[in-house]
Amino acid sequence: MATHARARLLDTAEALFYAEGIRAVGVERILAESGVGRASFYRHFTGKDALVVAVLTRRDRAWRDWLADRVTALGGRPLDVFDALAERFARADFRGCAFINTMVETADPDSPAHRVAAAHKQQVVDYVAALLADRGHPADRAAALAHRIVLLMDGAIVTALREGTPAPAAEARTIAAALLAAEPPGPGLEDPCAEPAARG
C-alpha cells in the first residue's frame, strides 16, 4: 500500500541519516534499502530535500514525546531532563542529536531542513520553560533559565558523542542544579532543585 511505502521510506531514511549523515546518503541507497521503487518515492516526495524535512518533522514529534514521557516517569522535575538524556547517551546507537547534526550539515539557516531543526530546539526550550513555570518560576525567568538549561543539554549531547560515555549528562545536571539553586522560585513555591533524599 502507498502508506506503507511512505512509512518504509521514512523509516529507512531516518535510520540512515542518523547513522551516516544526510549528505552521505543518497536517494538510490534509500530506495535500495527500503525496497520502494523510484516512481513510488516521487509520488510521496518531490525529492531528497522534502524527504529530509518529513523525516525531521516526524522525529521532532517522537523525540519530544519521548522526553516528556521519560521526564514524567522520572518525577517531572526540570533536572530530570538530564537523567533522560543519560539514558539516551547509553544506547549503542547514540549518534548525537539529529537536529544539531542537521544544522551542521545544512549550514544555510534559510533551508527548510535547518528551519525544522531550529524549530525543534525552540520547542525543547519551551518545554523546559513549562517545567520551570510549573515549579514556580515566573514566566520571564523560566524562559531565560530554559535557554541556559537547553544550552547545557546540547553541550552534554555533543560531549557524550565525543567521549562515548553518558557521564556528561550528570555533569551538565550538576551545573544546571547550581544554576537553578541561584534563582529559586517565589516564596511558598516548590524548589525546582528539590529531589527525594534517596537521589542525593
For residue 199, pLDDT over 50 is answered with no
Say what percent of the chain tops pLDDT 90. 88
Q: Which residue has the cell 552534554?
A: 156
Instruction: Give the model's confidence band at 64: pLDDT under 50 very low, under 70 low, under 90 confident, else very high.
Output: very high
Judge contact between 200 and 177, C-beta under 8 A.
Answer: no
CA 200 to chain centre: 27
In the chain the domains, ranked by start, together with CATH numbers, are 1-45 (1.10.10), 55-200 (1.10.357.10)
pLDDT tens track for 66-86: 999 999 999 999 999 999 999
Judge contact between 87 and 70, C-beta under 8 A.
Answer: yes
pLDDT tens track for 110-133: 999 999 999 999 999 999 999 999
What would the mean pLDDT of 158-174 be, rounded to a whole number?
A: 98
Task: Give Dmax over CA atoms of the chain in angstroms.
Answer: 63
Q: What are phi and psi of 138, to 5 degrees?
A: -55, 150
